[in-house]
Structure 1
């Protein structure tokens, strides 16, 4: 007797913008900003060490939609549209007979001319979005465009307006035979570009004035004291939105049949590492919060292996019963979630653009970064020659305040990391570059043991 076909799980991507990993309670933030994230991550699978592959909006989003490195797609900086014909998450889920929907910020049409034409929407069937939401809207002036290119103004604070729209979509889909894939993309806690501020819900940022400051920002300053209160209040409202989405799933009897991924595109260093907020190799730019819960992920615990943004697309596809295409350059996390033996990468590659032509790897202990100062950071996607720029021992210096790139004591470490970076670059499809060592000098009592030289 033929068994009835099991319905595939719904999938929701809850995607924020420019959110540091250490805004979450599970990463030590003491302000109680993320009780919903913390709870659901503990019930599901917490991806403790997750990193973007490109610390700027457009390239990171292109990589998440396609599962490919920014240089492989061609979207190595902002302002380059996702090439038509690119296979996205929407195409993969469309082929699995999912209803696909996109709500919020897109940033892959590479034009401020709104609305986004259908040919540049990445294959999503339901559309309520703007390419550059930071320019079409403000905190209390949420303007998007629907699938018929009509201007839609939503009521309420922008986070709440997008959340309301998402809940309406979920409710409309619950009686349908086909499962849905919803990509819900917020602008917060990104700054409002034209004012260079972080507009929180009215009256909410005062509670975070002169509160906890991460050690890197406490030492380096930047704009953190001016901007952290609004930034934290934005994060708090996003977490409340996550709670509302989860409540909707529970009330609609969809929670047990829906996979929810929470993550962001990159972090924020508040003008401490360069003249703006990201586009650097530092943890504040590249380390991001991430967790997954729902069928196949509940009870997964804390995954401490190094996870790249590129690993998330094949994970979602395979969790929904599909097969990730060979062109995707990440790896499914499901073997890690199931605690199966797996040869997992020991370093993650980061490509950096716009502020510099740079490349970096992050291992469990070390951060190693190179740049090509002779290249144009806007015109050039890469280089055949790089100079060593940063080395951080994250075991001794987790906030990256002591650059060891000129340390003679770390010569063997740098040589090993140099080789590992070149290997990862070639695996990403880039030509093997020449990396010129930094000038060295003695650095006081610094010394590495033989064990230190080979460890992680």
Structure 2
């Protein structure tokens, strides 16, 4: 180490809308992500990581605060993070770290993002909605003074270049950097996934997740977009490799924690009319790997965790006690003892498509929604109703909805009680969950993902969708 301060640097790399199974560590066969896979292999890999809310702004608020969206005040898109909220930036800044933010923010109400809406970051090169200020080869962001800056190159390359500049400028002091990429999110105004030149062709037609292969037969955009989507991810991983190389060349590799994850996944309009906003793994399951001091040789965490756990984990690794309450739990005890006390399920909140709640265990996905709530305006429901139940052991791609079946009533009741306990733990003390309409028993299908079998039609509660 070249500086007297022994505290680790911390970098978070956040992608937008990336499924867990696009990484080699997540089972992808195409070799898209060798640098992420190296992090997962030599560092710590959370194999069952989930977003606390499968839409941009709420998930990002949770990553900044360690609190569930209904508590952070950002339960849907279009709501700015409340003023003076305690964030990762304020926690690290108060501990003497230099703090920097680069990329998409999505937690403000104007563009450029005013200084008071930047979450306490000291250094700033960003935009609230990067998808509307840029395209693949024209990246415009705003600097600390609100001046527009045109960054050359492909968009994710430009963001990684800025991150490498930040690391170079701050290498002599402890720093916390949050790098928020646009990729592999679609380009909204044209509904495309613009990969670097030649990359979409490289991956088109080579791989399709079984859930999308099955459900796209009845709609969805996966076959049209998968080449570009995967091409974006491959280029992001190349940028991650360049960032690691920069750390190595600055003699910071052994002193820097790097966390890589995504805000939510993507089901390519197979579960609803959008790309996310559902309880399915395609929406909620994300890649998560952490490398560096405290995490190297941490191995594989095989139990469900949430990205709401990431803020307190990073603070814990830096020796910083949170100054404000959080809902997250540090992952570090799990690295020392796989049986350490830790929630047995991930809790998910859903907005915009429905006012919903879900828990994801190693085996089960259990989801409820309030049919009378306004999916856009109501952060809380009063009377939730069971909508989905999937047995991931027999049905890993969630093709067979078991909700309401007599054969699974005991399972659903147990999960119902677990969900109610989790809701009480985050302030929904008056939550009520009604059972689904009873359906006659039938043998459970052992779902072969290679065969096109459709799930029972999910209940559609409608609702407006925010722009992202």
The more displaced of 117-126 and 6-15 is 6-15
**Secondary structure at the residue paired with 1:232?**
helix
Deviation per CA, 1:141-163: give whole Å up to 9, x if none.
10000001100000000010011
Among candidates 232, 238, 241, match of residue 240 of structure 1: 238
- The answer for the alignment partner of 1:419 in structure 2 is 417
2:387 counterpart of 1:392: no
**Secondary structure at the residue paired with 2:303?**
strand
2:357 counterpart of 1:362: no
> Superposition RMSD on alpha carbons, in Å?
1.4
Give the Cα–Cα distance (whole angstroms) in 2 for the partners of residues 447 and 29 of structure 1: 26
The alpha-carbon deviation at position 326 of structure 1 amounts to 4.8
The alpha-carbon deviation at position 48 of structure 1 amounts to 0.8
**Secondary structure at the residue paired with 1:409?**
helix
Among candidates 146, 149, 162, match of residue 152 of structure 1: 149
**Secondary structure at the residue paired with 2:125?**
strand
2:255 counterpart of 1:260: no
**Secondary structure at the residue paired with 2:186?**
coil
**Secondary structure at the residue paired with 2:135?**
coil
Asked whether the equivalents of residues 56 and 279 of structure 1 are also in contact (C-alpha less than 8 Å), the reply is yes
- The answer for the alignment partner of 2:41 in structure 1 is 42
Q: What 5-or-longer segments of structure 2 have no aligned partner? A: 447-468
The alpha-carbon deviation at position 436 of structure 1 amounts to 1.3
Within 5 Å, give how 1:343-362 maps onto structure 2: 343-362=341-360
Asked whether the equivalents of residues 409 and 447 of structure 1 are also in contact (C-alpha less than 8 Å), the reply is no
Deviation per CA, 1:403-427: give whole Å up to 9, x if none.
0002110010011111111110110
Give the Cα–Cα distance (whole angstroms) in 1 for the partners of residues 71 and 157 of structure 2: 36
Give the Cα–Cα distance (whole angstroms) in 2 for the partners of residues 136 and 305 of structure 1: 39
Change (3 A) 1:28 1:148: same
Q: TM-score, normalization: structure 2?
A: 0.92
Give the Cα–Cα distance (whole angstroms) in 2 for the partners of residues 446 and 210 of structure 1: 32
- The answer for the alignment partner of 1:312 in structure 2 is 310
- The answer for the alignment partner of 1:134 in structure 2 is 131
The more displaced of 341-350 and 265-274 is 341-350
**Secondary structure at the residue paired with 1:100?**
strand
**Secondary structure at the residue paired with 1:27?**
coil
Give the Cα–Cα distance (whole angstroms) in 1 for the partners of residues 431 and 10 of structure 2: 40
Q: What 5-or-longer segments of structure 1 have no aligned partner? A: 449-456
- The answer for the alignment partner of 1:193 in structure 2 is 188
- The answer for the alignment partner of 1:163 in structure 2 is 160
2:181 counterpart of 1:182: no
The alpha-carbon deviation at position 325 of structure 1 amounts to 3.5
Give the Cα–Cα distance (whole angstroms) in 1 for the partners of residues 323 and 246 of structure 2: 32
- The answer for the alignment partner of 1:229 in structure 2 is 227
Paired positions, count: 441
The alpha-carbon deviation at position 440 of structure 1 amounts to 1.8
Give the Cα–Cα distance (whole angstroms) in 1 for the partners of residues 48 and 442 of structure 2: 32
The alpha-carbon deviation at position 384 of structure 1 amounts to 1.0
